[in-house]
Amino acid sequence: MTLKIALVQTDSLIGNVATNFNRIIEIVTKVKNALVIDLIVFPELTLTGYPPEDLLFRRDFITEANNTLFELASIAPDIGIVVGFPEFDGEKLYNSAAVLSEGCISAIYRKQKLPNDGVFDEQRYFTAGEKPVVFEFKGQFIGLSICEDVWHCDMVQATKDAGAEILLTLNASPFHAGKAQQRETLISSHAKAAQLPIVYVNAVGGQDELVFDGASFVVNAKGEIVFRAEEFVEQISVVEFENGQPLEQIPLSLPFKKEGQKKAPFLKGVGGFALIYKALVLGTADYVRKNGFKGAILGLSGGIDSALVLALAVDALGAENVEAVSLPSKYTLDMSNDDAKIQADIMGVKYHSIPIEPAVKAFTEILAKTFANTPADTTEENIQARCRGVVLMAMSNKQGKLLLTTGNKSEMSVGYATLYGDMCGGFAPLKDVPKLLVYELARFRNSISPVIPERVLTRAPSAELSPNQQDSDSLPPYEILDPILARYIEQNQTADEIIAAGFSLEHVTRAIRLVDGSEYKRRQSATGIRISERAFGRDRRYPITSGYRGI
């Protein structure tokens, strides 16, 4: 007894039920034309995209999704479809999976474990389901689960006890570094413990700060990974089961060309940087595409952060859709201007050089009377940054291109950025990327093809807002600062714990004060791509006004 199951890792557009519906129809049609398939499995909440957030409070949105499900059931009566949707039963809303076969809805499963931590707040919207669901399909008994459910061994065992011979799990599991291996390790152990094969189908694509990495996989009853789809690409894969056990795997990449490999390797690169880089590229590409921008624009300073953002933008959007703008001041070094022009030429983007000194002079004159008899300080530095922001935002508005900010996580952590200046923009690709990782990712990108000048990688970082300025004038060296920030922000360690780990009282105290005092800036910053387990935004929510002092 054989069963061919197609795993579809697809990129849904949140809120656009019609577009997602048409995409499902397109995929089902192509799969039917390519191979004889019994069952097609889509990710969690495919009809609406994940996470739809407060769209779930809109009754018209939910009604459209539910009506579309009934329409979907009739499009392919000769093939089974499993799809995620928000189910409204007249009183309560559930995160559900529907089995569509023979022109009708033959089974519905309601997610039982509703995550409510980190980036998840499903208990705000959904009611938890109460029981496992097992349906018979072509002589085999198949169980269903949704994302968080399969992370709990007792849930897998309960589905096995209900009679399942195969478990299908629909997922919208967002990426962070190491997440794919973490999934496989845990779910493989659950499959082995229950002696139940598991088909894990995950979403792919960028959604605001989240990126979904795909990497769908199949594990047999022994806990062995027998198939893995690619990461960060839309892909349809087919696995064949015989008497409940997975056999041949036939990877198919849109538009459904057979590939030779049976199990895609994890993306590799020094330190796993390839995987992070690809997440940043996909997150940037989808944000621009899904929000209807004509391309992207960024300030190119000749420094490492903007150099990496330019590389990401070109890889995401194509050189023809990216513009780079150099905005030199009287403090900008010649080598910064030279390196910016060199990189722009290498990457083939449209390049502008617009000196900001006339604008800075105008503002200085306007404020001369008000600032009389006061010494120059960071105020004058910030005026320069804000002049750049005005120019870049004007170009963004005029051309319909998204302004990418270039600040990194280290800077965002300690507030080493200017509100309404270099923080201007609509999307921050490096918002969750610490400074030391910026260098590693730049070196990784250069290992593919040398696009970032070597001098950019080796010179000391500087904002170039005053004579001979360097980041180390205001901050501890990044080799010290970044590990402190990781412990305080991502691991939630106390000052005493960080000091006990070998960091000085001076460095820890300064770093924590800067982090806590910069919350008001971060609250106004552009959204950025999440690559860690605790990014600013959905993960880490601190009050701006607070009397708490952790030092």
pLDDT digits (tens, 9 = 90+) for 465-495: 667 767 677 788 999 999 999 999 999 999 9
Tell me: do 185 and 308 sit in the same domain.
no
Tell me: do 253 and 301 sit in the same domain.
no
Q: Give the percent of the chain with pLDDT over 90.
A: 73
pLDDT of res. 464? 65
Residue 517 located in a structural domain:
no
Cα torsion 341, 345, 351, 357 to 10°: value is 0
**All residues at 6 or more sequence positions from 498 whose CB lies less than 8 Å from its CB, including other chains:** 484, 487, 488, 508
DSSP-derived letter for residue 373 is: T
Residue 480 located in a structural domain:
no
Residue 11 located in a structural domain:
yes
Q: Which helix (H) or strand (E) holds 242?
A: strand 235-242
Tell me: do 323 and 358 sit in the same domain.
yes
Tell me: do 228 and 284 sit in the same domain.
no
Chosen domain end from 456, 473, 490: 473
Tell me: do 151 and 300 sit in the same domain.
no
CA distance 99 to 106: 6
pLDDT digits (tens, 9 = 90+) for 98-157: 999 888 899 999 999 999 887 889 999 999 999 999 999 988 999 999 999 999 999 999
- If you average pLDDT over every residue of the chain, what do you get? 90
If pLDDT is split at 50, 70 and 90, which confidence band does 255 have? very low
**Higher per-residue confidence, 249 vs 188:** 188
If pLDDT is split at 50, 70 and 90, which confidence band does 261 have? very low
Tell me: do 178 and 308 sit in the same domain.
no
Tell me: do 239 and 296 sit in the same domain.
no
Residue 504 located in a structural domain:
no
**CATH classification of the domain holding 363:** 3.40.50.620
Q: How far is CA 241 from the centre of its chain?
A: 33
Tell me: do 150 and 125 sit in the same domain.
yes
Tell me what the mean pLDDT of segment 70-86 comes to: 87
pLDDT of res. 260? 39
pLDDT of res. 136? 93
Chosen domain end from 263, 281, 296: 263
If pLDDT is split at 50, 70 and 90, which confidence band does 391 have? very high
**All residues at 6 or more sequence positions from 331 whose CB lies less than 8 Å from its CB, including other chains:** 384, 464, 465, 466, 467, 469
Residue 382 located in a structural domain:
yes
pLDDT of res. 220? 92
Taking a C-beta distance cutoff of 8 angstroms, is the pair 326, 293 a contact? no
CA distance 175 to 31: 27
Cis peptide before 255 (omega within 30 of 0): yes
Residue 529 located in a structural domain:
no
pLDDT reading at 342 higher than 60: yes
Tell me: do 213 and 358 sit in the same domain.
no
Taking a C-beta distance cutoff of 8 angstroms, is the pair 210, 11 a contact? no
| Strands ordered across the beta sheet of 39-41 | 104-110, 93-101, 80-88, 39-41, 2-9, 235-242, 245-253, 257-258
* Lowest mean pLDDT segment, chosen from 26-40, 162-176, 323-337, 405-419: 26-40
If pLDDT is split at 50, 70 and 90, which confidence band does 267 have? low
If pLDDT is split at 50, 70 and 90, which confidence band does 83 have? very high
- Residues 4, 87, 147, 184: which is the catalytic one? 147
Facing residues of 131 across strands? none
Crossing angle of helices 17-34/59-73, nearest 10°? 20
Taking a C-beta distance cutoff of 8 angstroms, is the pair 155, 164 a contact? no
Taking a C-beta distance cutoff of 8 angstroms, is the pair 212, 242 a contact? no
- Residues 111, 113, 401, 521: which is the catalytic one? 111
Tell me whether residue 44 is one of the annotated catalytic residues. yes
pLDDT reading at 441 higher than 90: yes
Chosen domain end from 436, 454, 473: 473
Tell me whether residue 104 is one of the annotated catalytic residues. no
If pLDDT is split at 50, 70 and 90, which confidence band does 265 have? low
Tell me: do 226 and 297 sit in the same domain.
no
If pLDDT is split at 50, 70 and 90, which confidence band does 461 have? confident
Number of domains forming the structure of the chain:
2
CA distance 474 to 379: 15
Tell me: do 466 and 363 sit in the same domain.
yes
Tell me whether residue 147 is one of the annotated catalytic residues. yes
Residue 515 located in a structural domain:
no
Residue 268 located in a structural domain:
no
**Higher per-residue confidence, 243 vs 67:** 67
pLDDT of res. 476? 86
Tell me: do 201 and 277 sit in the same domain.
no
**CATH classification of the domain holding 77:** 3.60.110.10
pLDDT of res. 545? 84
Domain range for residue 331? Answer: 273-473
